[in-house]
Amino acid sequence: MKFGQLKVREKSFVSKVLKGMAITGAVLVAASNKRFWFNFYLNHSKEFNKYKNQKEKQKLYNALQYLKQKKLVDITEKPNGILVKITTKGYEIIEFYESLEKIKIKKPQKWDRKFRLVIFDIPAKKQGARAALLQKLKEMGFYMLQESIWVHPYDCINEIATLRKLFEIEPYVKIMTTQAIEEEYKLLKHFELLS
């Protein structure tokens, strides 16, 4: 399953819905209208019963329709109802997001006084992966020096290598380590490293 097959703005919510369905498991629903499985999950799953207002319900319904359209869930008509279950492709997406969520930068007890630069030039055909990389860099606490140059004070070579592989952008993302950097004071202040 290629990362770019999902729109960036939908990724985290779709993943959340899939995980909720994974907890609930495959279900047989005795209903036939077009909103049957939305209503089932909304009314019977502990994972989804927090969605109370109309806007949240609509967002969830759209996500479920999206899952169906992208073949991440399978709907099969049975004599006594309709079976809803996650497909192999859907489980691949869950596994992808679980791997992504585990990637974090550990703060050492003592800073080694080096900065790590992530530099990238990702082609237009992989803009979904580029946007996802940017989102993850922000989550991990990187600071933007320029649009395609981000900096962090702690060791993150393995984490960035894993991200490159997950997003399938290995040739386009480079990592550098430096002890000297322009506007160092601004970075030290940002990362709360002034002593």
In what helix (H) or strand (E) does residue 93 lie, and over which residues does it extend? helix 88-102
**Is residue 175 located within the same domain as residue 149?**
yes
Q: Is residue 29 part of a domain?
A: yes
**Is residue 95 located within the same domain as residue 175?**
no
Q: Which two tokens stand for residue 37?
A: 């499985």
**Is residue 41 located within the same domain as residue 10?**
yes
**Is residue 115 located within the same domain as residue 170?**
yes
Paired with 146 in beta bridges are: 149
Q: Which CATH number characterizes residue 143's domain?
A: 3.30.70.240
Please give the pLDDT value at position 152: 98
**What pLDDT digit, counting tens, does each position of 50-96 carry?**
556 677 667 766 777 778 888 888 777 666 655 667 888 888 888 88
Euclidean distance between the first and the last CA atom of the chain, given in angstroms as a whole number: 47
Domain that holds residue 22: 3-100
Q: Which CATH number characterizes residue 55's domain?
A: 1.10.10.10
**Is residue 17 located within the same domain as residue 70?**
yes
**Is residue 136 located within the same domain as residue 91?**
no
**What pLDDT digit, counting tens, does each position of 4-44 carry?**
445 544 556 667 777 776 666 655 444 444 455 555 555 54
Which of these three, 43, 68, 100, is where a domain ends?
100
d(CA 45, CA 39): 10
Report how many domains make up the chain.
Answer: 2
